[in-house]
Structure formats: C-alpha cells, structure tokens
Amino acid sequence: MLPEKSKVLVTGASGFIGSHVVRHLADIGYMVTALDLRPPPQEHPAGVIKLSCDLRSDSLPEGDFAFVIHLAALGGVRPSMERPLDYLETNLRATMRLLEHCRPRGLQRFIFASSSSVYGPTAGLPSKESDELHPCSPYALTKLQGEEWGRLFSEKHGIDFFALRLFAVWGEGQRPDLALESFRRKILAGETITIHGDGEQRRDLTHVSDVARTMEAALTWTGNGFEVFNIGTGRNHSVNEMLRAAEEQTGMRAKVEYGSEHPADVPVTLADVRKTRELLGWEAKVFFPALPSTLCP
C-alpha cells in the first residue's frame, strides 16, 4: 500500500535507469524529486521536481523525503581501471555525503543501486547474496564499499538501507557504451566491433522496466534494517548472442574482430533471485531479447 503523499528523492534521475525509475514512480503516485547534474533525455512527468546538484561538492537538497533512491554513479568496470580516483570520488564519497546528509533528517529508507560486479569471478553458478565477494575493478569495489557504509549507517543510525545488486541492465535508452547498444550503433555505422575474448562470456540481462518495478517493491517492503537483494533474471546469455540480436535488429551483418580478454571482465554473471522473489515478491517479467509491448517501435 502506497503511503499517502510519499516523497522520494531519486539521484542520477537523468540517467538510463534513473529516467525510467522516475517515470514509473511518478505514474503510481509518488511525489518525486529528480536530482542530476544533467537534464533528462526527455522531460520527466508532470509534477516531478527537478534539481541540479553535484553530490560530490554542492549543498545537498533539503526536504522531508521519506525515501532516497541513490542511482547517481560513474558506471562501467573497464573505464574504472583507468580512472579509479574519479570512481572513488563519485561513487563512494558522494554516497557517504548523501548518507550523512540524510541521517539527522528523519529519512525512513535509503535504496542503493549496487552491482553484480561485487561478486567478481564465479564458477558459473548463480550468485547468492551470502556468497563471498571478490570485486575485481575499482567500480565494483566502490559499490561494495557503498554497501558497507550503508550497513554501518543502518546499524548505528537506524536507517533502513537496501542494496540492490543490479545484473547487466538493458533496454530503451541504454548508454551507448553498453554492449547491446554499442553493437547496434557500430553495425549501422559500418564500423568494426571488437569483442574482448571469444564472446562466450555470459551475462544475466535485466530489463530496465523490471528494475523500475523493483525500486517500487523495495519502497513498499515491510522489512527493515540492512538488506541486500539480487536483481536479475536467473538466466544468462553470451556476448555472441547479444551480437546476433543486434544483427537481427538492424538487418545487417556485423564486422567483428576478437581480441584479448579485458582484466576487469568476469566470465559469467548469473543471479540467484530466490531471496528477492520470496521477500520482495518481485521477479523479472521481460527476458532478452524480447521487449515489452509498450517499448516496441
């Protein structure tokens, strides 16, 4: 049941995931404040309050927000290998500033967008929230450290902190550097696609519309304290399968070359989603390569 006039602050609201989350929450009745440095790719729904703010350095927003959904971050394991200090500043320091800002203001719940990358290399078995973690990139490490700061604030200050470990999000409006969109654009441009390794690396691909729904589920869940949830499908697909899907979408053959493996990549991601299904009552509805009918061109 949606609390009356629930106010939620969404950071990273102009990003790929954030814009979908803002739209979904506004559509079901939340009073949304959308915070980002950049304008959204398309206008947020009517009634959404827009704030421009750099969480690393600006004065943080005042207001009686019941909930925070913290999506603002630098993404990508590969670029983080070259820019670790940028990732530390943006992904960790900004998270800590936001937590400390919210602590004395009566915040009920802080939902943190974590990542499946915290698991690191696995043996190909589904990753459970209780598994030992081996992050192998600065990006993954900042996400794990964000979770740990959330655990501390939950234990010491009573903030409900839920970390959602997102598995390879895809869908309408995805970033151009993500594999599916990058493949599509390069095929259309007649450019050569470079795949690191043999292309048999596998990813659990989670549609952005399902991610937006899980934010709703996390807001309304009756649990409390510190919790971690996997957000995935429990299925995975190879990079070569993604390439074939891009070829089918464009109706063109790709020019492909295979190179050496990237040190930040892991061979397999696959979510064990039993905890999320049993506690949050959430499970994926959209499975690659299908699109929900509302997003089909």
Q: Is the peptide bond before 289 cis (omega within 30 degrees of 0)?
A: yes
For residue range 78-104, what is the model confidence (pLDDT) as tens digits?
Answer: 999 999 999 999 999 999 999 999 988
Contact 94, 35 (CB under 8 A): no
Average of per-residue pLDDT values in the chain: 92
Q: How many CB atoms lie within 10 A of CB 15?
A: 23
Within 13 Å and on the Cβ side, how many CA atoms surround 192? 6
Active site residue ranges = 139
3-state secondary structure 127-190: ECCCCCCCCCCHHHHHHHHHHHHHHHHHHHHCCEEEEEEECCEECCCCCCCCHHHHHHHHHHHC
Single pTM value for the model = 0.93
Q: Is 244 helix (H, G, I), strand (E, B) or coil?
A: helix
Nearest to 14 by CA among 67, 73, 68, 59: 73
Q: For residue range 30-84, list pLDDT tens digits in order.
A: 999 999 999 998 999 999 999 999 999 999 998 888 999 999 999 999 999 999 9
Map out the domains of the chain as residue ranges. 7-170+208-232+265-280
Q: What are phi and psi of 103, to 5 degrees?
A: -50, -50
Confidence band (pLDDT; 50, 70, 90) for 291?
Answer: low
Query: What topology is assigned to 7-170+208-232+265-280 in CATH?
Result: Rossmann fold (3.40.50)
Helices (H), the chain: 16-27, 77-82, 84-87, 94-102, 138-157, 179-189, 208-220, 239-250, 274-275
Check residue 293 and give its pLDDT: 42
Cα–Cα distance measured from residue 254 to residue 242, given in angstroms and rounded to the nearest whole number: 12
Q: How confident is the model at residue 289 (pLDDT cuts 50, 70, 90)?
A: confident
Phi, psi of 214 (to 5 degrees): -70, -25
The residues with which 9 forms a beta bridge, in sequence order, are: 33, 68
pLDDT at 130 over 80: yes
Q: Strand, coil or helix: what is 203?
A: strand
What gap in Å lies between CA 94 and CA 11, rounded to an integer? 11
- Nearest-CA neighbor of 271 among 218, 235, 227, 217? 235
pLDDT digit string (tens) for 194-217? 999 999 999 999 999 999 999 999
Residues 30-60: b if buried by 16+ CB within 10 A, e if exposed: bbbbbbbeeebeeebeeebebbeeebeeeeb
Distance in angstroms (rounded) separating the CA atoms of residues 123 and 126: 9
Q: Is the Cβ–Cβ distance between 60 and 98 less than 8 Å?
A: yes
